[in-house]
Amino acid sequence: MAQEIIHYIATGKDRVKTISGQYGNLSGISLFEDGKFMLYGYATMVFGSYVFEKDYLLFYPDQLPQFLLYANHNPTLGDNVSVNFRGFEEGKTFVQLGDDNMQPVFNDGANCFDFPYIYEQSQPISQLKFAVQKEDFDAGPAYHTFHYQNDQRFNDFIAIYNKPQRARANFAAYLYLTEDKKLAISLSNYGGREGFLRENQVDSTQARWLEILAMKKEYERAGSIELTAIFSNAAYSISYPDLEEYNFDKATNRYISKSTEDNNEEVDQDDRYLRQYTKELLVSKQDKFDTKTATVPSLFFSSCSQSDESYNHIKRGREKHQKKKRKD
């Protein structure tokens, strides 16, 4: 017969401080004195806030937008347009480029991905639209669309799709005392009924707790999980530079490292030559989206069993298309 678990109820004005600490070792949750938390585990680190509700705690993770779009005026492209797609392999996503029809970003059953995925066309683009099959954990499938109007005539884009994660869904928890009077927490989403045991009592001399506090400080220093600008080189490898180490070149609209010995274009694939992409507004709309009207085939094709037919770079001219096969 399972032992009855009696909830531990923290009281008083210092109740947040009373329960703060690290619960779990390699995976678990940390509660902070300011009402914030960090859920952590394999490939997971989610921050958010929590509140008391009777003898339970209610947790509200910080949310990532489903789509993010960053843009840049790239003089080297001229009238051409380039779009880097990141994260779109993680869900059933669609894109509309200019006035073209919606089309799947990837083929059904796509696998064996070869990054980066780049779309180019030889004329300006007036708008971008994204659609995704909604996969909330408490709702059935539906489609959301997100619209962008390119009024400033940007020509270089980085589009990011963030697939909804179970770890970012709201959850609840309760605290309890074990048989040997140690404090533990049971989460509604991870860790099973027994949950996680508090590993320390907020001892400031413990190295692990100091590391956790440093991660929290770094997260808060960034200001948001939704960055207002990102930096990338010509190969669409994102960097987080110290701009004090760079000079801005107005002619090419990019940052050049002060340590660069020469300006040879052959070496612009690393972080010595960076462009700043600013976050653009995407408008969520309740348009009805019929997947049957989407153009087939997909924008990109990736398959382990059809590697010869797979491609990650497509160029569209006014009269012809060119696809670059991936490198095996």
Domain interval for residue 56: 7-63+167-222
Tell whether 150 and 233 lie within a shared domain: yes
As a whole number of angstroms, the distance between CA 147 and CA 195 comes to 42
Among 222, 244, 261, where does a domain finish? 222
Please report the pLDDT score of residue 1 as a whole number. 41
Would 207 be classed as within a structural domain? Answer: yes
- Closest Cα partner for 131 from 161, 94, 85, 91? 94
As a whole number of angstroms, the distance between CA 81 and CA 84 comes to 10
As a whole number of angstroms, the distance between CA 206 and CA 290 comes to 56
Would 2 be classed as within a structural domain? Answer: no
As a whole number of angstroms, the distance between CA 291 and CA 99 comes to 17
Tell whether 118 and 208 lie within a shared domain: no
Please report the pLDDT score of residue 294 as a whole number. 76
Q: Which pTM value belongs to this model?
A: 0.79
Please report the pLDDT score of residue 70 as a whole number. 97
Asked if omega into 164 is within 30° of 0 (cis), the reply is: no
As a whole number of angstroms, the distance between CA 304 and CA 282 comes to 33
Provide DSSP, 79-138. Answer: T-EEEEEESGGGS-EEEEETTSPPEESB-TT--S--S-EEEEESS---EEEEEEEE--TT
What are the CA-CA distances from residue 41 to residues 32, 86, 128, 222 (Å)?
17, 23, 36, 21
Tell whether 305 and 180 lie within a shared domain: no
- Tell the burial category of 152 from Cβ atoms under 10 Å away from its Cβ (0-12, 13-18, 19+): exposed
Tell whether 45 and 83 lie within a shared domain: no
Tell whether 249 and 217 lie within a shared domain: no
Would 218 be classed as within a structural domain? Answer: yes
Q: What is the DSSP letter of 301?
A: B
Determine the residue type at 95. Answer: V
Would 162 be classed as within a structural domain? Answer: no
As a whole number of angstroms, the distance between CA 93 and CA 104 comes to 6
Q: Which two tokens stand for residue 107?
A: 């083929």
Would 40 be classed as within a structural domain? Answer: yes
- The enclosing H or E element of 29 equals strand 28-31
Q: Which two tokens stand for residue 211?
A: 């590391």
As a whole number of angstroms, the distance between CA 66 and CA 87 comes to 10
Would 1 be classed as within a structural domain? Answer: no
Tell whether 234 and 136 lie within a shared domain: yes
Would 161 be classed as within a structural domain? Answer: no
Determine how many CB atoms are found less than 10 A away from the CB of residue 14: 11
Do the beta carbons of residue 326 and residue 130 sit within 8 Å? Answer: no
Tell whether 145 and 231 lie within a shared domain: yes
Beta bridge partners of 315: 120, 322
- Closest Cα partner for 118 from 67, 71, 81? 81
Tell whether 261 and 297 lie within a shared domain: yes
As a whole number of angstroms, the distance between CA 240 and CA 222 comes to 11
Among 222, 241, 260, where does a domain finish? 222
- Tell the burial category of 8 from Cβ atoms under 10 Å away from its Cβ (0-12, 13-18, 19+): middle
- Closest Cα partner for 254 from 116, 86, 80, 72? 72
As a whole number of angstroms, the distance between CA 165 and CA 175 comes to 24
Do the beta carbons of residue 124 and residue 65 sit within 8 Å? Answer: no
Tell whether 172 and 321 lie within a shared domain: no
Do the beta carbons of residue 123 and residue 319 sit within 8 Å? Answer: no
Tally of domains within the chain: 2
As a whole number of angstroms, the distance between CA 49 and CA 35 comes to 6
Tell whether 104 and 242 lie within a shared domain: yes
Would 312 be classed as within a structural domain? Answer: yes
pLDDT along the chain (328 residues), means of 10: 73 89 93 95 90 94 92 95 95 91 92 94 95 64 86 97 88 93 92 87 71 89 74 92 92 88 60 94 79 80 92 74 56
Tell whether 114 and 180 lie within a shared domain: no
Tell whether 276 and 291 lie within a shared domain: yes
Q: Which two tokens stand for residue 252?
A: 């090419």
Among 203, 222, 241, where does a domain finish? 222
